[in-house]
Chains A and B, each alone.
Chain A
Amino acid sequence: MSDFRQGNIVKPYERLNREQIDRIHEASMAILAEPGIWCYNKQAAELFEKNGAASVLEDQGDSPCWRVRLPRKLIESAIAKAPSKVVLGARDPQNRLELDAEVPRVYFGSGSETNVWLETEMVEFVDPNDDSDRRKLPKYTEKRGSTALLARAAHLCEQLENLDFFIRPVNIQDEGITEQNHDVNKFFASLNNITKHVQAGLTSLDALGDVVNMAEIIAGGPEELRKNPVLSFIACIFKSPLQLVDDTAEKVFAIVKQGLPLVISSSPQGGSSAPIQEAGIVAQINAEILTGIALTQLIKPGSPVLYGSVPVRARLDDLHDLYGCPEFNQYNLDCVQMARHYKLPCYSSTGVGNAKVPGMQATFEKLFSHLYMAASGAQYIHYAFGLLDRTNTFCPLQAVLDNEQIGLAKHCMRPALIGEAEREEAVEIIRKVMTTNHKLFTRHTRKPVRAGLVSEPYHFESKTGEDHVLEKALDHMAALEARPVKHLARDMVERIFDEIPGLLPELKQSM
């Protein structure tokens, strides 16, 4: 693992027993057999049919739809062809990720395409009755996502030591951004500011060639890119429940043919687009993801693919997503186990806050899922940094706070270090200390501290009677952002700008 990020190998918390896993699988197979899926993509319907599915054209209108009933054999034999190990590359080879379905090594990363960037400043307020009583409180400003802010997010995420991969947390909405140049700009703004793995959805299929060309320039050539895929894609191929989307399916065909890693994700909402009951939503999302993965393997067997599970539940007062709740953890934990059952690396979710700003509520909601999902053993956990107001807002200050929390969660999940050597050392130390007058073990803490085995206190703690967490985190963020940006080499950038159309000139000028 020397050429990869270390991640954390955990002893997975297993919510489902073997019988329950089998029941979910059986339910998913039953759903895919009847009612089957509503497939809005002709190519996919034909490919499924060619491989044994029953496909019937149900709607011949503007959006033709095939009802495809998928037999168990098709799904099971196709997913068995998917690799259990996927490597996600990075500009810095030390930042590559090895996702092995049979190893519960956990990585955490950002996500996902919010429209609002929430800026924080601390403003001093004075008690009108006591001029000496001055307190700093956070003041928030909403900004519209832009390429400049995406570049800033990438640079900040490069500095966050507990962030293992980068999914753009903010949507780019600059004046010069169109559907055609959206992809090249978002990938360039990211890759030019971070040396970790970069992943995103593909907005326009037409842009795929340019994006891949850019990635090949960065990786050093077509072959080098396939060995070290510095970027990868996410395709939410299903609109829940069970409707296979036409244009996303086209993108899946094209990405798979390019030989680049792809997440097949699905995000049903328990209570609206899926049953709220655990068995129901998990059986459904499992059916949707397996169908997507089966499609990738029918297109090209052995294609690198991740089992992308983002099950959420509805809050019942407004039917928005509800994060930081028990069901979110339960649904997601179950999906991680299902992915492990199929020997597929798992893209999972954690850490979103319903809260609109950083603070106690956000901290509670995030920690609630960070700890559970760290224990899940999912290989690739997104949504973990900076997301607030469900997934509508990215707050960089919150990302810094999450980095601290995830660091401690990762530490918490370290395996117990109790081998023979540790047993012997324990007895020896206790015997030794008990011969002293003071009976203090302090000197024996030094070795484990030096070895990095002992966690540090919360970095933003306050030693006075007031809470200064946000102020301290903001200072830390300023220090992180002041570090030099790890841009691509100048000649590489020139070549990218020469060869790739549609890049905003300001992305080069700001270097």
Chain B
Amino acid sequence: MSDEILEKIATNVVQGRVEQEDEGFDDGFEGQPAVTELVEEALEKGIDPNDILIDGLTASMTTVGEKFEKGEYLIPDMLAAAEAVGAGMDILTPHLLKAGVKSKGKFIIATVAGDLHDIGKNIVAIMLKGAGYEVIDLGVDVPTPKIIEAVKENGAPFLGLSALLTTTMRNMEEVITRLKDEGLRDKIKVCIGGAPTSQDFSDKIGADGYCSDAFAALDWVKALAA
């Protein structure tokens, strides 16, 4: 019974289905329980939250990744799957904490001050959440003091900064300078991303990494954790 429901969760992650009403990648799924309903059902049946996490949610993301690599899946399919994992994580997190299971770590993410663009930032957030990180999304046009405050408050090991404008990307440097000033720089790894940014710019402002897209962000954070 436990295997069956975990398999169903995994299938629905691959199908990118959050809720019962969602369509899947393949036809014929609409109306059937999706990740949200299945995770709740699994918990009700007393299945170990850690098993739900590993065998139901995260393992199936490997299948999703392979499908993307083969060209079978496009970005929306990948994101739908990550979103399904994220929805499952929201339900599981309190149970995991109760069971003493630690998350992969907190990841603060923000679009810097003066910049309202958030598509790239949101995609990175969905993918990170889908990979098991606890994402703290500060939103757009976030003033530097607010970012510093969040870093202090959460003790997060990772910070991601996003900007789409050449005029606002300089605010990334300001965040890094303030982290140094506050004595926080050694405690957190900072990555940057956004159309006008580059590896050169990342090096210049003293960030720890430049991520050209959401996959690069995942690779970056996984490499740090390894």
Contacts and interface: CB of A to CB of B under 8 A. Distances in A.
A446 B76 contact: yes
A437 B87 CA distance: 12
A5 to B, nearest CB: 25
A438 B122 contact: yes
A141 interface: no
Given A446-B23, A446-B25, A447-B23, A440 B119 contact: yes
B75 interface: yes
B16 A440 contact: no
A221 B122 CA distance: 65
Contacts of B119: 440
Nearest to A437: B137
Size class of the B contact interface (CB-based, 8 Å):
10 to 19
Contact of A438 (B22, B25, B74, B125): B125
A461 to B, nearest CB: 15
A446 B27 CA distance: 11
Contact of B16 (A437, A438, A439, A443): A443
B12 to A, nearest CB: 13
A472 B34 CA distance: 42
A449 B25 CA distance: 10
Contacts, number: 38
By secondary structure, the A interface counts as helix
A446 B77 contact: yes
A440 B126 contact: yes
Interface residues of A, number: 11
A449 B74 contact: yes
A442 B130 CA distance: 15
Interface in A399-447: 437-440, 442-443, 445-447
A438 B125 CA distance: 8
A448 to B, nearest CB: 10
B80 A446 contact: yes
Contacts of A438: 118, 122-123, 125-126
Contacts of A437: 122, 125, 137
Interface in A445-461: 445-447, 449-450
Contacts of A446: 16, 23, 25, 76-77, 80
B96 interface: no
B134 interface: no
Contact of A442 (B18, B23, B79): B79
A87 B59 CA distance: 56
Nearest to A444: B76
A319 to B, nearest CB: 51
Q: Which of B76, B79, B119, B123 has the most CB of A within 10 A?
A: B76
Nearest to A441: B76
A443 B137 contact: no
B86 to A, nearest CB: 9
A443 B122 contact: no
A449 B126 contact: no
Interface in A368-424: none
Interface string A288-301: 00000000000000
Nearest to B19: A432
A408 to B, nearest CB: 18
A447 B23 CA distance: 8
A440 B74 contact: no
A410 to B, nearest CB: 22
Contacts of B137: 437
A445 B79 CA distance: 11
Interface string B47-88: 000000000000000000000000000111101100100000
A121 to B, nearest CB: 28
A456 to B, nearest CB: 10
A442 B125 contact: no
Given A446-B23, A447-B23, A440 B77 contact: no
B123 A443 contact: no
Interface in B5-27: 16, 18, 22-23, 25
Q: Which of A437, A447, A449, A450 has the most CB of B within 10 A?
A: A437
Nearest to B73: A446
B74 A443 contact: no
18 contacts: A437-B122, A437-B125, A438-B125, A439-B118, A439-B122, A440-B79, A440-B123, A442-B79, A442-B80, A443-B18, A443-B76, A445-B76, A446-B16, A446-B23, A446-B25, A446-B76, A446-B80, A447-B23
What 7 A-B pairs have minimum CB-CB distances, sorted nearest first? A438-B122, A443-B80, A442-B76, A445-B76, A442-B79, A446-B76, A440-B122
Given A440-B123, A446-B77, A446-B80, 6 more contacts: A437-B137, A438-B122, A440-B79, A442-B80, A443-B83, A446-B25
